Structure 1
Amino acid sequence: MKKILLILLITIPFCFEAQNINDVYNVSATYYQGTAKSMAMGNAMGAVGQDFSSVAINPAGLGLFRKPEFIFTPSVNMTYTSSSLLNGYKAYDFKTNLSVNNFGMVGVNKTGNNIVTWGIGMNRTNNFNNRIYVDIFNGNNSLIDAYFAEIIANDIYNENELYDYSPSYIYPIWETYLMDFHPDGSLSSPVPMGGLTQRKGVNSWGGTNEWTLSTAINLSDKIFLGFSFNMPYVNSKKITDYEEDFSTDDYDNYWIQEEVMSTTGWGINGKFGLIAYPARWIRLGASFHTPTLYNLTDMWRTETYAHIDEYGIHRSWETPTSYFNYSMITPWKANASVALIFGNFGMITADYEYVDYSSVKLSAYDYEYNSYNDAIRATFAPTMNLRLGTEWRYQNYCFRGGYAFYGSPYGISEIDYRRNALSCGFGYTKHAFTIDLAYVYTLQNHNYNLYSQYTNYYDEIGTPSPEINEITRLHSLVVSLKFRIY
């Protein structure tokens, strides 16, 4: 029952309809996409420093720089996604994209025994590029069935009330003759409640880029203190096509609903960090990230098309483009780090990160969000992220490896959204120039229902919509170019 409740909450549309609680998580989550050195070491950089990516985790790491530096990091990301029913039937899709993980500049100023450093640039903290395809046969129900259950649950009795409730998604079903109201309060549809092929394609792109202005102080090579002021920018776009096909030998029968949605906006946050050298063989790090305050804008529109030869229905309905402005406060984060130093030969490092996604809050000038914030608290829970890395040097070469584990943000184990990443790489330094290369393999397994867990209109007991097992495999190739100024 609790699992069904949480899935219901995840699929609840907000007042602006297109957004849901999963999208809230995508904006709040952080999957660091930094330098090749950082990614090769699992982004376990909280106690390592001396790398521009470390500013995103622990700004005190800026204090370990000895020379001014410029850095630029492009990457190639290849995403392979398989979607299947629990009985094993699978569909596949893939996507390749180029992105800039980071670029920046570091300045160094010496004042007696202390060193003051500053940095300015950008770090990518999330990547939304993906393509998903689902193709299944459903003998139990239809999305129309779920819409009917939602209509009944909200006491909607005519098309005017339906438009007020859901102008972009359910109302177009009425306009395209895919449903009708009857005087006795019943509902009907030419779409069968089961025995049809369901297809869903999702093409998404964009990411979160965090622009940063950072400073740190090196106190006699013993204590390093850092602070960064950051402005993350979210740019996410998604096109979703959903189709139900119930054609026969004599008739072409199908209907399609397409959604185009984007989320854009700026945020602000601050990060505080400390790195200490209690002994030459160990570094300890700690950092705190304030909540990010976002000002976001959602844009969305839908188009619904019905082609049912059996009943002579050929209609389409396109909604006007809608916009909604709102604010989001994401969770604070706390990091604890340790690095074991083996002289000039290498190091082993680990980061532990705590974040509570249930603390996300939404607000808007002209809308009351209490029920949705309650749903967020009921859906999400505190989680932990663990990152491990190592680096070993031989002459001008460095060899690196890493592992990262990101815990599931959901409140129960049945809804699994854990993420694992394995990485490796190497670097080469010649005078003032360094080139670093990294390969990262990321695996994420996620179970979800195709549209909802609503009780079926024609079934008092209720049959859940198809449960999909989605496996995403991300292959990332990263290269960093560093130039030091002597």
Structure 2
Amino acid sequence: MKTSVYIFAVFASVMMAFDSSAQVPLYTADAVRFSQTDGGGSARFVGLGGANVSLGGDISSISANPAGLGFYNRSSWAISPVLRLGQFNSTYEGNNTFNVGGNFQIPNLGFVLQNRFEEYADSKWISGAFGLAINQKQSFYNNINYNGTVSQNENGIAYDFTENALTPFLSDNGFREFNTQNEIDDVANSNAYTYLAYQTYLLQTFNTENNTFLIDRYDFDGDTGGYLTQSADQRENIDTYSGITTLDVSYGANYNDKIYIGAALNVNFLNYRMVRSFRETPDNSFLNYMDLNEETMITGAGAAFTLGAIYKPINILNVGFSYTSPTFISMNETQDIAMETFFFFNPETGEENISYEEEIINEVPSYSLRLPQKVSVGATTFISKYGFITADLEYVDYASARYSSTNGAFDGDVPEVGNNLNSTFNLKVGAEGRLNIFRARVGYAYFDNPYKNFNLNRQSISAGIGIMKKNGFFIDATYRLSSFDNPDFVAYSSSDMSSDVIRSESDISNFRLTIGKSL
């Protein structure tokens, strides 16, 4: 059975991750995830650690610093497919889990149309170039896979899903008692996970001595006042996909081979998909297992603009600047949450070897997110014809991230995510060596921690090679290793419970190829 509901408070309060004060708050984590960028672009710029503010003449300039289009002396096109291979590690309840995966995309392609201002012979404006590109600035590809066993303590199985789903039926004085089924239904419907647990008999109805009803776990033992479950094995796989892609329309111009300026319109498309598969297997004679499968889709679109300039004071030095405005993204979100239970014996119904299924489709009212502005400065020094060294310093104002809604998406409580975030400085450095038509590159990028109360840094190293032929054909290949810690989270912990956190880290290898030609 499928049920369409709107319970946005459920999403904020009982999602498996980021809902405890000991972990990154849910909306804060999303604001950072959607604000971070790794630059993307061509294999050449990725091989340089993403440093691109003071360089030009590359298809990546369309999205990074449009002033770089002024370096083009011919029209050009390029396409960049990428293969990602991930190694994922997690720790939970003393268990270490290792997982691998792969992902293939074409995150960058574009073209540049260059023209010279020959009709203005007396002008120092030499040329201009128009660029159009699709560029994935951030990939959400990631995986978390964990498993562990939680055991009963003096308060019962406090860390499993059933106990968490039971919380709305409890009060400060113990179990709430009900006189009618309608009263029970009202409480069950107040929380999506409680509703699913109740419909699939993880929560069952028991009679009291006062001819009222209370709701407790399926394995409640009224004679001993305890649970028959002694332990529960938990395992979950979490996959995230897609990313933030921009359609960039840019123009850059060359003034006297000294000053290069440009501007771009950045149309942002957000596509975030998370798929979670959770299974809990208790140690008892009633329930064989319960499965909870969730798919969350967040899509959105917004716009920003980028302004840039590059100055060449002497032949061996470029200095660059770029500014990207805040991006206002209108977002839509849908959750599909399905639960299945399989009972050896159901004590409430008396049925044996029976399964129950229930599903909720939760359509969240639209809301908006303001992504922070970014300011970058960079410099490149050239070593004659043998190559160059380049570096960028990027400022990201994460503290200015803001959610908003005009139709009640946050149930009247808009999360103030900026209070949990810092402004950061990211560093990107790279070097390129040249010998005839051959190129070799190395790069490093460090992304500062955006959180005030949590220490989560990212970094990447890269290396690549390329060939630039005299007829304008070029091909570049780059390997980049991105390493980062994922925010800690807990498996279904309510506000008055605590459990061992799931800690995980990801190492993602990117193999990027760029093929293009100057016309």
Q: TM-score range by the shorter chain?
A: 0.7 to 0.9
Conserved? CA contact 2:165–2:197, under 8 Å: no
In structure 2, the CA distance between the partners of 1:189 and 1:144, relative to structure 1 (3 Å rule), is: same
Secondary structure of the 2:32 match is helix
Conserved? CA contact 2:166–2:217, under 8 Å: no
Secondary structure of the 1:23 match is helix
Deviates more, 1:193-202 or 1:203-212: 193-202
Is 1:92 equivalent to 2:98 in the alignment?
yes
Is 1:143 equivalent to 2:179 in the alignment?
no
Deviation at residue 6 of structure 1 after TM alignment: 4.2
In structure 2, the CA distance between the partners of 1:101 and 1:8, relative to structure 1 (3 Å rule), is: closer
In structure 2, the CA distance between the partners of 1:373 and 1:48, relative to structure 1 (3 Å rule), is: farther
1:290-323 CA-to-partner distances (Å, cap 9, x unmatched) read 1111122112111111223243573221113535
Q: What amino acid does structure 1 have at the position aligned with 2:103? A: N
Q: What amino acid does structure 2 have at the position aligned with 1:219? A: Y
Aligned partners of 1:187 and 1:449: how far apart in 2? 28
Counterpart selection for 1:361 from 367, 380, 402: 402
Aligned partners of 2:81 and 2:338: how far apart in 1? 36
Q: What amino acid does structure 2 have at the position aligned with 1:471? A: E
Q: What amino acid does structure 2 have at the position aligned with 1:470? A: S
Is 1:271 equivalent to 2:271 in the alignment?
no
Counterpart selection for 1:418 from 433, 443, 457: 457
Q: What amino acid does structure 2 have at the position aligned with 1:143? A: F
Conserved? CA contact 1:305–1:316, under 8 Å: yes
Conserved? CA contact 1:423–1:439, under 8 Å: yes
**Counterpart in the other structure of 1:474:** 508
Is 1:107 equivalent to 2:113 in the alignment?
yes
Deviation at residue 162 of structure 1 after TM alignment: 3.7
Q: What amino acid does structure 1 have at the position aligned with 2:277? A: D
Q: Unpaired runs of 5+ in structure 2?
A: 1-17, 152-157, 177-182, 220-226
Secondary structure of the 1:145 match is helix
Deviates more, 1:111-120 or 1:429-438: 111-120
Aligned partners of 1:481 and 1:151: how far apart in 2? 61
Secondary structure of the 2:31 match is helix
In structure 2, the CA distance between the partners of 1:370 and 1:42, relative to structure 1 (3 Å rule), is: farther
**Counterpart in the other structure of 1:58:** 65
Q: What amino acid does structure 1 have at the position aligned with 2:159? A: N
**Counterpart in the other structure of 2:365:** 324
1:91-138 CA-to-partner distances (Å, cap 9, x unmatched) read 222221211121111111222432111101111111122332111112
Q: What amino acid does structure 2 have at the position aligned with 1:283? A: N
Q: Unpaired runs of 5+ in structure 1?
A: 12-19, 457-461
Conserved? CA contact 1:85–1:469, under 8 Å: yes
Aligned partners of 1:336 and 1:371: how far apart in 2? 40
Is 1:239 equivalent to 2:275 in the alignment?
yes
Secondary structure of the 1:245 match is strand
Conserved? CA contact 2:366–2:409, under 8 Å: no
Conserved? CA contact 1:45–1:351, under 8 Å: yes
Is 1:344 equivalent to 2:359 in the alignment?
no
Secondary structure of the 1:53 match is helix
**Counterpart in the other structure of 2:79:** 72
Deviation at residue 65 of structure 1 after TM alignment: 1.4
Deviation at residue 200 of structure 1 after TM alignment: 0.9
Aligned partners of 1:152 and 1:63: how far apart in 2? 67
Secondary structure of the 2:499 match is coil
In structure 2, the CA distance between the partners of 1:28 and 1:398, relative to structure 1 (3 Å rule), is: same
In structure 2, the CA distance between the partners of 1:189 and 1:53, relative to structure 1 (3 Å rule), is: same
Conserved? CA contact 1:391–1:399, under 8 Å: yes
Deviates more, 1:396-405 or 1:77-86: 77-86
Secondary structure of the 1:170 match is helix
**Counterpart in the other structure of 1:14:** none
Deviation at residue 425 of structure 1 after TM alignment: 0.3
Deviation at residue 164 of structure 1 after TM alignment: 5.3
**Counterpart in the other structure of 2:25:** 10
**Counterpart in the other structure of 2:484:** 444
Q: Quote the RMSD (CA, aligned, Å).
A: 2.7
Counterpart selection for 1:308 from 322, 340, 343: 343
**Counterpart in the other structure of 1:30:** 37
Is 1:435 equivalent to 2:475 in the alignment?
yes
**Counterpart in the other structure of 1:381:** 422
**Counterpart in the other structure of 1:188:** 216
In structure 2, the CA distance between the partners of 1:379 and 1:62, relative to structure 1 (3 Å rule), is: same
Aligned partners of 2:99 and 2:51: how far apart in 1? 31
1:27-67 CA-to-partner distances (Å, cap 9, x unmatched) read 22212221110111111111112112133222211111121
In structure 2, the CA distance between the partners of 1:284 and 1:4, relative to structure 1 (3 Å rule), is: same
Q: What amino acid does structure 1 have at the position aligned with 2:505? A: I
Q: Matches of residues 386-405 of structure 1 in structure 2 within 5 Å?
A: 386-405=427-446
In structure 2, the CA distance between the partners of 1:159 and 1:30, relative to structure 1 (3 Å rule), is: farther
Is 1:118 equivalent to 2:130 in the alignment?
yes
Deviates more, 1:428-437 or 1:26-35: 26-35
In structure 2, the CA distance between the partners of 1:226 and 1:116, relative to structure 1 (3 Å rule), is: same
Q: Matches of residues 185-224 of structure 1 in structure 2 within 5 Å?
A: 188-190=216-218, 195-224=231-260
Is 1:291 equivalent to 2:296 in the alignment?
no
Secondary structure of the 2:392 match is strand
Aligned partners of 2:136 and 2:269: how far apart in 1? 10
Is 1:179 equivalent to 2:207 in the alignment?
no
- TM-score for the superposition, normalised by structure 2: 0.82
Deviation at residue 385 of structure 1 after TM alignment: 1.5
Q: What amino acid does structure 1 have at the position aligned with 2:58? A: D
Q: What amino acid does structure 2 have at the position aligned with 1:10? A: P
In structure 2, the CA distance between the partners of 1:213 and 1:163, relative to structure 1 (3 Å rule), is: farther
Secondary structure of the 2:486 match is strand
- TM-score for the superposition, normalised by structure 1: 0.88
Conserved? CA contact 1:95–1:129, under 8 Å: no
Task: Find the structure with the greater CA-based Rg.
Answer: 2
Conserved? CA contact 1:72–1:102, under 8 Å: yes
Aligned partners of 1:146 and 1:272: how far apart in 2? 50
Aligned partners of 1:135 and 1:124: how far apart in 2? 33
1:430-486 CA-to-partner distances (Å, cap 9, x unmatched) read 221001010011111235122365344xxxxx4x2221221111011111011101x
**Counterpart in the other structure of 2:8:** none
Aligned partners of 1:474 and 1:5: how far apart in 2? 28
Conserved? CA contact 2:93–2:149, under 8 Å: no
